[in-house]
A and B are shown apart, each in its own frame.
Chain A
């Protein structure tokens, strides 16, 4: 690939230029800010051109191509430590680049319509371009330190975009929370880098992977664990997942791009990148799988109870990321990356669809406001929706397609990737710690059922039945006429993503499906593509078992859809939920309280730290440390105030002193 690697820096520089162009001009010129088509166009092109370059690279590359690196200049260097600004072009980084720029360009294009009324239009697009730049650094870096630059860079952009409407304190709270939880993960990631440098003497992926033999098993476990903690921060896994649902405070295109399709998958990317390293320790792999499996089911249970449509999608994202981590933990890196890709398609489609819904609901809210009818409702709450399919036909159709895809109904994209994860988890059940993996497989199966269930609950709640707002507030009667479908620029993006959600799965058709009929088969394009970069566990199951598993996962998905239709396809939302709550009792309460994780962190770590710093440390600093200094000073002053009586300037006093002295000396001479 050496002949083409020189194109890679351009993939990064173009979004950077877009960021600088919109950012600097927007900051300095009032009139520039009004040129919205120009701003949006430049920003979209700044992502689309890199996509075209990546496509070109994709066509000249094959699964057999050797990785190539290009180094721009030395970044940080001191003593024995040296890192370059260097990029690595291989199948894995190119796959991620395609997803980031492809889905990124679509979302940029969508956002031109979505953000058009916002006064911070220029700022939004410059941040979005900066995000793409940082994300591309993350996926293309040839060393861990540059990856870390992208890693924290995307965190920064996420912070800036979650808190985009900064005048709302709760939104900037959410932004800060996201940054801080990520920082906790980044801390672990930093320590992992220190250890790797200590052992290998370099942070380049090439050197780390070539030097895996240098690590003892304990070191692999510890370093892997630290990297995993870093990944749980960025990819919203247990124990650091709580920031992602709050992150929905940002504009919806941001949720689609950063908090669904790209940034949150970077933890999956990092572990895939280091797959030969992670494979050294079965215990580490087990740990990854357990984290993933439990995150998947915990997030799914929370998603069951939520009414905020973006919150449901957020927990669904956490849950799907859990599936990816489960795949990583079973050594199914291809399956994990496969799910990254298909999830990017259908989840972006769902988020943008929800954006279209929110757009329409905002319009109603706006009209009510104009007519001076004071009705307060949350335009993201699906209890006030219902029946929107009549008003938003394109949004409905694409949303439904994406829902079917995420539910895992064949032959849509989500089915193939999720099925592969389930198969590989069962497959891992045949190896070391088999019983645990089988347990995780069962959990994953339950989660798959829940996924289908809550996603259809969401779709039915938004689009089926009748518009519920007038039922809640009689004043809003007749306002459904203000529910408008989004303009073509937005719906066209939904259709493209829906199309990808339909066909996306065909890049990873399991070989056994075809092999059953033809004897042997080599149809899994993705697996062939990634063969050289990731180190997958071998699939040892027989075809019969695989078919059974496949039917099992289809059955579970259909069951979930069926139950959802049974409960919610009658224009009811709260009543069935109340029935579920009754059935599950206290458990349901735990789910809807989000397991109280936020409260636990707040109560056990954040508040005690602040209170300790305020009441103990700050007081100690003033009274203890500074007080001690003052005590010394006053001792000196006191000593001075005593001694000053010896220096009165009066001759009599001095004479008195002399007499005393003489007497003292005489006494000493007499009585020694």
Chain B
């Protein structure tokens, strides 16, 4: 299985090399489709063989030899509950992305598809890497093809958009690189006999205890990078631009996969590496998440460009994910993970659909449409389902994530206030507002533009690429446990482990002398029971009270 994991990761890269030797555009397309489909099929055994009960470690682990001189930096790959679903989302979306670019890309076809394939290997590497430095390397590997995808095959303002996207992200990640090196040396001193290490198992081990002051700065450096990538308000301004200028495939990959690297990195590294800082800063991140939810929704509402509208809606949806991750309980974190998948599916579908409209009409302006439902009934159904999923209609996938995040953050003891959830829930109303308003203006009403009368409904290829997404949207909506079960145990373990290590470090730090700001920031009173115990105790109490009332009634 370890070998299979590596094959899945590198098969797309191999495919990209293959494309170098293919001359005919048609063959390039078919090869890409073949490679991505094969990758997806090969990744399925990884899902089926996955043992959901294993916690604390990853599965299908490949651990190589240190390759960077004296440093203990290894090629280390594997999957666990945190990464499994996102890994599968990446392999699942790839053939769809290839199909969606089938006829819309006519310029440098081989270059385009090889970029997509390299991007896929990079993304799979990001989700499977278990060494922090390897994670960083794979991350940078995804940036380069994305830079070219937007810069070469994008819209009018593509150069400005792609440079902004690239440099903005890079600034954040370079800062993180510095912090990463610090972590590597610190971990070396504490847990690896003085040898620099970024091994995920070592840097999240209980013996690795960073002081509170160190944690603060490192957390901020890492957090800054991830904030830009996710993006969290107010670091989002590259996103609408990049989304609008990117070709359809670029937007889909960006929304479905690339943004998830930021949120995934928060769960994988930011929270476990700096447990005390993560807990101390949780309310602040939750505030930014809630602002993002409402701000993104309000700005989305007044956009005139459909693609920009969807881009701002992404900011709103990712606000939910951020809120869920920083609520520090299993319910909300599970919601955040499934919401990452959901956002990938529904926003991915929306970008694909907008792309289909653009391909026919060469416009993304809402006002250029109207009455499209009459000409394109099948597209209307798909568009409707994706829209409803995006606004969180129960029975479709979006609701599951949003509900879990809200119910979890409502009861979060780390956040300590239900107002986060209440305000975030306002986003549910707003989402219905801007999505349905857009849908109405594009699809309903009478046909006001002569050009729109000639629109043809989506063809078999286009139906074939949307239907799998629709199936998953409904499947996750009705039986989410088929998906959430993969992450449940590992997430629970991760949160508990983080809390325990935070407690241990806090106890240690209580005796040290700290700067006054740190004393204010960190809660150093010892936590005797972890949060889950408290919740359990609460429900026991409730059970007793219920029994009591039943008794008195009789």
Contacts and interface: CB of A to CB of B under 8 A. Distances in A.
A612 B370 CA distance: 25
Nearest to B487: A78
Interface stretch (B30-38, B63-71, B103-111, B374-382): B374-382
A187 B429 contact: yes
Given A153-B395, A629-B237, A214 B542 contact: yes
A81 interface: yes
Contact of B428 (A190, A195, A211): A190
17 contacts: A74-B481, A76-B404, A78-B404, A79-B492, A80-B536, A167-B371, A167-B444, A172-B440, A180-B429, A180-B432, A183-B433, A186-B428, A197-B411, A201-B542, A210-B546, A613-B302, A618-B299
B221 to A, nearest CB: 17
Interface of A: 27, 73-81, 85, 145, 148-149, 152-153, 156, 159, 163, 166-169, 172-173, 176, 179-180, 183-184, 186-187, 190-191, 193-195, 197-201, 207, 210-214, 609-610, 612-614, 617-618, 621, 625-626, 629, 633
A194 B395 contact: no
Nearest to B334: A78
A72 to B, nearest CB: 10
Contact of A190 (B373, B406, B408): B406
Contacts of B393: 152-153, 156
Interface stretch (B16-24, B47-55, B419-427): B419-427
A621 B237 contact: yes
Given A79-B408, A197-B407, A613-B302, A152 B425 contact: no
Contacts of B436: 159, 176, 179-180
A210 B549 contact: yes
A313 B84 CA distance: 55
A168 B374 CA distance: 12
A187 B478 contact: no
Contacts of A614: 302
B464 interface: no
Interface in B409-455: 410-411, 418, 421-422, 425-426, 428-429, 432-433, 436-437, 440, 443-446
Interface residues of B, number: 72
Contacts of A193: 407
Contacts of A85: 478
Given A75-B481, A172-B440, 18 more contacts: A76-B403, A78-B334, A79-B492, A79-B532, A79-B535, A80-B330, A145-B394, A153-B394, A166-B443, A167-B444, A168-B445, A169-B446, A176-B440, A180-B429, A190-B403, A191-B422, A211-B542, A211-B545
B514 interface: no
B436 to A, nearest CB: 5
A191 B420 CA distance: 12
Nearest to A627: B237
Given A77-B481, A198-B410, A187 B433 contact: no
A201 B407 CA distance: 11
B237 A167 contact: no
A168 B550 CA distance: 56
A172 B444 contact: yes
B133 to A, nearest CB: 27
B459 interface: no
A78 B335 contact: yes
A294 B221 CA distance: 58
Given A75-B480, A190-B406, A214-B542, A613 B335 contact: no
B167 A633 contact: yes
A199 B429 contact: no
Contact of B330 (A78, A179, A183, A198): A78
A173 B443 CA distance: 13
Interface in B97-145: none
B527 interface: no
B45 interface: no
Nearest to B418: A194
A613 B298 contact: yes
B349 interface: no
Nearest to A211: B546
Interface in B261-316: 295, 298-299, 301-303
Contact of B388 (A81, A156, A194, A621): A156
Question: Helix, strand, loop or mixed for chain A's interface?
Answer: helix
Nearest to B300: A613
B525 interface: no
Nearest to B298: A613
A76 B444 CA distance: 34
Interface of B: 164, 167-168, 234, 236-238, 241, 295, 298-299, 301-303, 329-331, 334-335, 371, 373-374, 377-378, 381, 388, 393-395, 400, 403-404, 406-408, 410-411, 418, 421-422, 425-426, 428-429, 432-433, 436-437, 440, 443-446, 478-481, 484, 488, 492, 532, 535-536, 538-539, 542-543, 545-546, 548-550
Contacts, number: 169
Contacts of B543: 201
A450 to B, nearest CB: 34
Nearest to A85: B478
Contacts of B421: 191, 194
A75 B425 CA distance: 21
A190 B406 CA distance: 9
B298 A609 contact: yes
Given A76-B403, A153-B395, A176-B437, A194 B549 contact: no
Query: Which 10 residue pairs are nearest across A and B when measured between Cβ atoms?
Result: A79-B330, A78-B334, A626-B237, A149-B394, A614-B302, A613-B298, A194-B410, A172-B444, A79-B331, A166-B444
B325 to A, nearest CB: 14
A180 B428 CA distance: 10
A145 B549 CA distance: 24
A201 B446 CA distance: 50
Contact of B549 (A183, A191, A213): A213
A184 B444 contact: no
A191 B429 contact: no
A218 to B, nearest CB: 14
B546 A207 contact: yes
A180 B391 CA distance: 11
Nearest to A198: B411
A625 B428 CA distance: 25
Contact of B446 (A75, A149, A167, A621): A167
Given A166-B444, A180-B433, A210 B550 contact: yes
A243 to B, nearest CB: 13
Contacts of A149: 394-395
A382 to B, nearest CB: 28
B237 A80 contact: no
Contacts of A186: 428
Contacts of B437: 176
Nearest to B391: A183
Report which residue of A195, A214, A612 has the largest number of chain B beta carbons within 10 angstroms of its beta carbon: A214
B488 A167 contact: no
A186 B418 CA distance: 17
B411 A194 contact: yes
A429 B261 CA distance: 63
A183 B237 contact: no
Given A27-B377, A79-B492, A156-B388, A201 B539 contact: yes
Nearest to A185: B429
B480 A213 contact: no
Contacts of A214: 542, 545-546, 549
Contacts of B394: 145, 148-149, 152-153
B404 A81 contact: yes
A625 B374 CA distance: 40
B479 to A, nearest CB: 7
Contacts of B234: 625
Nearest to B330: A79
A183 B428 contact: yes
A275 to B, nearest CB: 15
A215 to B, nearest CB: 10
A530 to B, nearest CB: 19
A75 B549 contact: no
Contacts of A199: 542
